[in-house]
Every structure is written in structure tokens, then in C-alpha cells.
A and B are shown apart, each in its own frame.
Chain A
Amino acid sequence: MKATIFDYGAGNLHSLAKALSGAEVGIEPDPLRAIDTDLLVLPGVGAFAAAAASLAPGRKQMRAALDSGLPCVGICLGMQLLFDASEEGPGEGLGILPGQVTKLRARRIPQIGWNTLEEASDPLFERAPLPIAYFANGYACRPEEPGCVTAWSTHEGDRFPAAVRRGSVLGVQFHPEKSSSAGVRFLGAFLEEVARCS
């Protein structure tokens, strides 16, 4: 199975690539080439505007690929790109999930550290329990349909989606590749799911 990390920034992709090592991992800066894969990975480092700009030349095609069933995992900023737009900066997300990305309503921003996951309902959490995970985000997704949320977290008073799901598209606000062995196992469980369904 081929997993392709869409490289839209200058972030650390080493740990993510290593955490996906169950698959044959490629790193691709071109959004059109990135969707020629079995699993698209939208990584989690950078700013929304810069990522949306890298995405723009292939946005429609990527959206169409996900709509027609290409499995995808979006991590942190990558999850936010699944939504329509962000307060953080200009540019369009993929709009796979209707909703906006807005600033966390908290004093301490960004939220940096390990936060507990609440009401985790995605079957992945049964196969690979992840009671707590590492977050580094100043913004959070606000889906129009809360039904897509498969785990929540709370920072100060703000409750926000920690994980969302639409078919074979998974979004996580936390960094599984930075959440120690339990996080790596969670990512591995998603890889297995994708392999089983393909």
C-alpha cells in the first residue's frame, strides 16, 4: 500500500513517515501527484494560508478524489484543511466537511501539550486506545454537523473536535505521530483499516 504525504510546508515529516512505515511512504509537494496514491496524508505543520496556497492548484481534483473514496488522514492543520476556511488566514480548504476553523476560546493559546480525548467513538479507538494525545494548535474546527465528530477535547472552557470522520476520511486535531507508542498504534490501526477496505 502506498501512503503519500502531501508536503505543503517546511515541517518535520520524519516522524510521520516513520510512523506510517507499515506502508510504502512517499512525500509529494504537488497536490495533483499527491492524490495518485492509496492513502493521502495531510500533515500537521505550518500555517493555514500557506497550506491552502499550496493546495490551490489541485484543490478541486483532491476534493473529487476524496469524494470518490480515496482514503485520507488529516493531522492538525491537515484536519483543518478538510473544512471550508479558517480564521487563521485566507484561502480555501477542501470543504469535505462543512464548517469553519476558528481560534480556540482560551487564555493560553496555542494549546501545547497532552490533552485527554472524550467520547471517543471512532472504532479505531477500540482497536488502538488513545486516552490522551499531543496537541499543538491555536485553532480548532467547528463542523456544521457535529455528527462527524468522533472524539472531543477541552482546552480551558472550549470544547473542540479532536477527531472527525467521513467515510474513509479521518481528521485528527492531535498529532498521533507525536503521541508516543499509543499514537503510532492508532495510526497503524487506520493503515490496517485502509488496507482491509482497499
Chain B
Amino acid sequence: MLTRRLIACLDVKGGRVVKGVRFESLRDVGDPVELAVRYEHQGADEIVFLDISATLEERETLLEVARRTAERLFIPLTIGGGIRGADEVARALRAGADKVSINTAAVERPEVLSESAARFGSQCVVASIDARRENGGWRVHTHGGKEPTDLEAVAWARECVRRGAGEILLTSIDRDGGRSGYDLDLTRAVAEAVDVPVIASGGAGTAEHMSEALRRGGADAVLVAGILHDGMTTVTALKRRLAEAGIPMRLA
């Protein structure tokens, strides 16, 4: 039986892991390679590095971090942030990523999803969607949540899958960093609309939040960041709680 996944997410800037609230007020929380390996040992099912830097120099730094990580990490690694085209996907995969998440570039030029899927397979193309609640729906935002688009999140998720995305990483901007739980309505609306796995993101505070996202939200995986980096809890403890709640989990 396929288990549900707990994915540890590391926002990386200038080669360091940082954490912000609602995509802002960043602080340093550690070295990406060390944290990734620690989370693997705790039983994380996957690791995501999101490059939240703005410059090309820093992007090179992230690829270097990916290379060092891939030497020591034996669970899947996804890299996202600033990926513009299929050639950049190739570079990220070459550097040591197993999957690449694409956000702003897909909104600006959706063909990037189909081109990447044709070359590398849908299983390594993750469409990352940042959405904010608005008038009973959810509006897609780009550029790290700063720029509103004309896209509605559920329809956009469907379009991403139609174009070849093999997974949706769905972040609620409203909930990001708030630790008050995932946006379950958003998660469920997207999970029901697409046939690929949906990763719920934004708002993880407790194991109960994760359990709700997996059960009521219909997510296949939950993304966790801040509460791990702060040492408030561990992957091991969270997964044990989820297993006790009857959710199929891999226990390391």
C-alpha cells in the first residue's frame, strides 16, 4: 500500500536555510545539507529545497548545495525556485535533484511544463502553486507570493496537470508560517480536481493539522518546514502521531 508522505521543506537563500512568515521576515536556521540529512535520519520521506533568492549567483550556489546534498542524501530531493525552462530543469537534475518544482515560469509560459515532462518524464515535474483566498476562491500568485495573477488556483492546477505536471505542490499564502493548519478547503478542491498527487503546504503547526490535510483535504503528502527547523518537534514524532491516527505512514 502506498503510504502518505511527510516532506521536509527547506527555504534556501545564499546557501543557507532561512524561514519567514508569510514569505517575509527571514531568519537563518541552518546548513541545508546538514538539515536534509538530519531529516532523512528522522524518517522524512522527501526533501524539498526552495531557492528564495533573487539572483543568478545565488542560484549557482543552490545547485552547488544540491550536488553536496545528493552525495549524502538517499531519499528524493526536489529543487524549486527560479527555474525558467527545460534546460534549467536539466541542470537541476544533473546537479542532484530528482524532481524540479516550477512556479512563476509555468504561469508565464505554461509550455515549460510540457517540454520538461517530455524530456524527463512527468514524475519529475512538480507544478508549484501559491494561492491566496479571495472572494470565495483562490487567486494564484507568483514571484514568491508577491504578484497576483488572473488565474484561479483549481483551474490552474488542472491546466498544469494537462500540460504534464506529475505532482502539485500547493501552498496557501494565507496560512504560510502561521502554524494554524493547512487551508483544507483549498487542498480538497485541488485534490478532487486533479489525478496527480497533491502536496499540502503552508500552515503546519501540529500532527493534527497534517492528519486533517491528508484525510479531509485529500492530500497525498504534507509539507513541513518551520516547526522542524525550530526544534519544536521531529519528523519521527510527527509521523508516529500520524500513524497512531490511522494514516498509513512509513516508520523509519
Contacts and interface: CB of A to CB of B under 8 A. Distances in A.
**A and B interact:** yes
Given A45-B121, A113-B4, A12 B94 contact: yes
Nearest to A10: B90
Contacts of A2: none
A37 interface: no
B133 interface: no
Contact of B120 (A10, A14, A180): A10
Interface stretch (B50-58, B67-75, B175-183): B67-75
A90 interface: no
B98 interface: yes
Contacts of B123: 110, 112, 136-138
Nearest to B76: A178
A18 B98 CA distance: 14
B196 A113 contact: no
B119 A113 contact: no
B220 interface: yes
**Residue in A12, A50, A154, A179 with the greatest tally of chain B CB atoms within 10 Å:** A12
Contacts of B97: 12
A184 interface: yes
Contact of A112 (B1, B120, B197, B252): B197
Q: Is the interface of B mostly helix, strand, loop or mixed?
A: mixed
Contacts of B155: none
Interface residues of B, number: 40
A138 B93 contact: no
Interface in B85-108: 90, 93-99
B3 A114 contact: yes
A19 interface: yes
A110 B166 contact: yes
Interface residues of A, number: 40
A136 B118 CA distance: 16
A113 B98 contact: no
Interface string A160-185: 00000000000000010111110110
Contact of A10 (B96, B119, B167): B119
Interface of A: 9-12, 14-15, 18-19, 45-47, 50, 77, 107-116, 132, 134-138, 154-156, 175, 177-181, 183-184
By Cβ-Cβ distance, the 10 closest A-B pairs, closest first, are A14-B70, A136-B123, A14-B96, A114-B250, A10-B90, A110-B123, A115-B2, A114-B3, A47-B121, A110-B166
Given A115-B3, A183-B74, 20 more contacts: A12-B96, A12-B97, A14-B70, A18-B71, A45-B120, A45-B121, A47-B119, A47-B121, A107-B195, A109-B195, A110-B197, A112-B167, A113-B2, A114-B3, A115-B2, A132-B250, A134-B45, A138-B123, A156-B2, A179-B75
20 contacts: A11-B124, A12-B93, A12-B94, A12-B98, A15-B70, A18-B70, A18-B71, A18-B74, A45-B98, A50-B119, A108-B220, A110-B197, A114-B3, A114-B250, A136-B98, A154-B1, A178-B74, A178-B76, A179-B75, A180-B252
